[in-house]
């Protein structure tokens, strides 16, 4: 895929020859569809060299190119823009290249290694819509980095200890009557989540009662018996009280079983799990070392701080007066531990909501101050919250869109529509189920990934998820359609290959357009990695599918009489199907053979 480079070098030659000067950056961009041509040269920056108007400059370069470069067939000047048309033989060669490179879109291994963290849930409640965005993003960015030649290690840190799980434990002790996932038939994470909500309900009741007795809200909050039970459980946990540890292990075990089912359905996996209960004491040593090196300072009360005013930030506590760790201390320790576990990684990517931007800014500065050069390559993959029409999601109050429920609903919708359209004929029950799953999850993932990760997005359960238009199923459909076409070709005994169309001289505009979009794929894969943005891939996949559908709708493939054209169109279709499958794979979305 070196058209761009070759074209650039020809333009540089032209500029040197015509204006006798070394050209600055050549600005090439795709030609807008309403004009003829595929590449557009922006001529304004060249006017300083040419000492001519933009139009005259463009005219001169265009004339030179068409006269001297055999594969440039035509040009057109529009208001300082030089639109360049390449001969169709270039495009047939491009297609031949893409068709023959089965790994098109996957860049060669770079030998570079990187870690991506995502998910990292608390264990007191099931996963919700926000986690879905997080997991799909983390997964997709990992795939995109792999396609860019990286070796990727996917990890998460499971926040399995702390007051939140103790709250669920407290409520379960009080109201659970020994309920288990088996006895209730509930998924483990949902069962534990139920008691988390139960805790909040009871807590509010108690606080209200205490306030009616004249206590302040703060005081009432502390004295509420159920809160005292929870903090007592936390104390016992830290003191390694066996009974408490046992309940903790049991309830976390329920949650993990539930999570596992959810992750499996989401199609998400991890290479290594870190548990906060193992890592929460880490970092203290590092901070003490930093204190000795004079990177940090100690206050009279014994607490340890870092001064970030030079970086335009504030002072930040790293160890409490009693010597215990805070959140960021743990993260310092965990980061260093991970670099010991994976010595070859050059950096870490943290998929965490944008409300923690300040935290990660501080974390990376501290790691740099401690002398870890890899801190430069640490990146907070920050994403915006998913809003509901009703406002913010609150786990405590149970006003969340549950991940399992949502996936169920999506798959059900997919099933309803698929049946309505009569598309399950000839499928076994198992195949049909798999198809509903593929479509439903494809719609959900695509919906969450097509938006720029940084942006806050709105999720309207009633209207947001569609199966038509700019959606995953639209792209899946295009893929299935091509597969049907290829099956039919095989049935009719038509085989095809790059040799079959090497002499094709003339292309239809619709054919040319599809090849042009195909030729941009690798650029997009690089760009997506650079920006950590699956949205770029999603938008590209949609553009490609749309372009192909236009072709498909207007140009016959198997009905064509000219054999070279049949060969070309089949190869084109095959290449589109493969690139769609590749792009969707980068998004973690499967594509069906039929739908």
Considering only residues 412 to 431 of the shown chain, the ones binding RNA according to CB under 7 A are 414, 417-418, 421, 423
Among 116, 233, 465, 467, binds RNA (CB under 7 A): 467
- Decide if residue 134 touches RNA (CB under 7 A): no
Q: Which is nearer to RNA, 152 or 164 (CB)?
A: 164
Nearer to RNA, 345 or 557 (CB): 557
Binding RNA (rule: CB under 7 A), the pick from 235, 289, 299, 506 is 299
Q: Tell me if 281 contacts RNA by CB under 7 A.
A: no
Q: Is 133 in the site for RNA (CB under 7 A)?
A: no
The DSSP annotation for 317-343 comes to EEE-TTS-B-HHHHHHHHHHHHHHHST
Measured distance CA(302)–CA(459) in Å, rounded:
47
Minimum gap (Å) between residue 184 Cβ and RNA = 27
Nearest-approach distance from CB 324 to RNA, in angstroms: 8
Q: How far is the CB of 452 from RNA (least distance, A)?
A: 3
* CB of residue 440 to RNA, shortest distance in Å: 9
Q: Contacting RNA (CB under 7 A), which of 19, 64, 75, 81?
A: 81
- Going by C-alpha positions, the residue among 166, 150, 154, 60 that lies closest to residue 113 is 150
Q: Which residues contact 593 (CB under 8 A, 6 or more apart)?
A: 480, 483
- Give residues 2-61 in contact with RNA (rule: CB under 7 A): 27-29, 31-32, 34-35, 40, 42, 44-45, 54
Give, as ranges, the residues between 517 and 576 that touch RNA (CB under 7 A). Answer: 535-536, 539, 542, 546, 549-550, 552-559
Measured in whole angstroms, how far is the alpha carbon of residue 536 from the centre of its chain? 10
178: left (phi over 0), alpha (psi -120 to 50) or beta: left
The distance in angstroms from the start CA to the end CA of the chain is 32
Residues 158-217 that bind RNA (CB under 7 A): 159, 162-163
State which H helix or E strand residue 346 sits in: strand 345-353
Cβ-Cβ contacts under 8 Å for 48 (sequence gap 6 or more):
none
Nearer to RNA, 30 or 225 (CB): 30
291 binds RNA (CB under 7 A): no
Distance of CA 186 to the CA centre of its chain: 31
Q: Quick one: 261 or 326, whose CB is closer to RNA? A: 326
Side-chain-side CA neighbours of 245 within 13 Å: the count stands at 6
In the range 472-511, which residues lie near RNA by CB under 7 A? 473-474, 477, 480-481, 483-485, 488
**CB-CB neighbours of 89 under 10 Å:** 17
Q: Specify the residue, 152 or 579, whose C-beta has the smaller distance to RNA.
A: 579
Contacts of 580 (CB under 8 A, 6+ apart): 475, 478, 479, 482, 541, 544, 545, 591
The residue among 286 and 345 lying less far from RNA, judged by its C-beta, is: 286
Cα 276 to Cα 126, 466, 529, distances in angstroms: 18, 39, 29
- Minimum CB separation of residue 525 from RNA in Å reads 15
Residue 105 C-beta: closest distance to RNA, Å: 19
Please identify, using beta-carbon distances, which residue of 318 and 345 lies nearer to RNA.
318
| Residue 115, H or E segment | strand 113-117
């Amino acid at each position: 895929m070196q058209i761009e480079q070759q074209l650039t070098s020809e333009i540089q030659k032209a500029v040197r020859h015509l204006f006798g000067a070394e050209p600055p950056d050549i600005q090439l961009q795709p030609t807008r569809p309403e004009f003829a041509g595929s590449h557009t040269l922006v001529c304004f920056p060249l006017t300083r060299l040419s000492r001519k108007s933009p139009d005259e400059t463009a005219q001169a370069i265009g004339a030179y190119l068409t006269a001297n470069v055999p594969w440039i067939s035509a040009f057109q000047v529009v208001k300082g823009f030089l639109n360049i048309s390449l001969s169709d033989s270039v495009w047939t060669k491009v297609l031949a290249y893409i068709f023959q490179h089965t790994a098109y879109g996957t860049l060669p291994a770079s030998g570079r290694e990187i870690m991506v963290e995502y998910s990292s849930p608390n264990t007191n409640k099931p996963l919700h819509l926000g986690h879905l965005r997080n997991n799909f993003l983390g997964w997709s960015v990992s795939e995109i980095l792999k396609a860019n030649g990286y070796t990727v290690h996917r990890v998460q840190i499971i926040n399995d200890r702390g007051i939140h799980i103790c709250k669920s434990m407290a409520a379960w002790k009080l109201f659970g009557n020994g309920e288990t996932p088996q006895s209730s038939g509930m998924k483990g994470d949902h069962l534990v989540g139920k008691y988390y909500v139960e805790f909040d309900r009871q807590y509010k009741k108690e606080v209200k009662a205490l306030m009616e007795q004249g206590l302040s809200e703060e005081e009432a909050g502390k004295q509420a018996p159920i809160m005292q039970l929870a903090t007592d459980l936390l104390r016992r946990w830290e003191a390694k009280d066996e009974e408490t540890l046992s309940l903790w292990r049991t309830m976390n075990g329920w949650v993990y079983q539930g999570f596992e089912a959810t992750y499996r359905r989401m199609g998400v996996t991890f290479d290594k799990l870190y548990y906060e209960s193992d890592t929460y004491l880490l970092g203290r040593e590092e901070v003490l070392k930093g204190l000795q090196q004079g990177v940090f300072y100690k206050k009279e009360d014994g607490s340890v701080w870092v001064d970030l005013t030079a970086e335009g930030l504030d002072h930040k506590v790293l160890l409490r007066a009693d010597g215990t760790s805070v959140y960021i201390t743990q993260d310092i320790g965990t980061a260093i531990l991970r670099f010991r576990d994976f010595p070859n990684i050059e950096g870490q990517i943290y998929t965490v909501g944008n409300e923690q931007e300040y935290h990660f800014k501080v974390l990376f500065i501290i790691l740099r101050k401690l002398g870890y050069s890899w801190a430069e390559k640490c990146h907070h993959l920050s994403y915006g919250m998913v809003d509901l029409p009703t406002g913010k999601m609150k786990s405590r109050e149970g006003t969340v869109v549950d991940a399992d429920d949502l996936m169920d609903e999506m798959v059900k919708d997919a099933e309803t529509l698929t049946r309505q359209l009569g598309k399950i004929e000839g499928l076994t029950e198992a195949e049909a189920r798999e198809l509903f799953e593929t479509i439903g999850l494809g719609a959900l993932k695509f919906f969450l990934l097509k938006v720029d990760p940084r942006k806050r997005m709105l999720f309207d359960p009633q209207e947001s998820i569609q199966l038509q238009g700019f959606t995953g199923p639209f792209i899946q459909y295009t893929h299935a359609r091509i597969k049907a076409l290829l099956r039919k070709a095989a049935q009719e005994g038509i085989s095809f290959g790059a040799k079959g169309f090497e002499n094709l001289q003339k292309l239809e505009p619709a054919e040319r357009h599809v090849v042009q979009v195909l030729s941009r794929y690798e650029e997009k894969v690089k760009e997506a990695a650079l920006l950590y943005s699956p949205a770029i891939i999603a938008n590209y996949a949609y553009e490609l599918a749309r372009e192909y559908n236009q072709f498909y709708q207007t140009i016959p493939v198997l009905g064509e009489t000219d054999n070279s054209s049949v060969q070309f169109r089949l190869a084109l279709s095959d290449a589109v199907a493969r690139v769609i499958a590749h792009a969707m794979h980068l998004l973690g979305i499967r594509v069906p053979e039929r739908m």
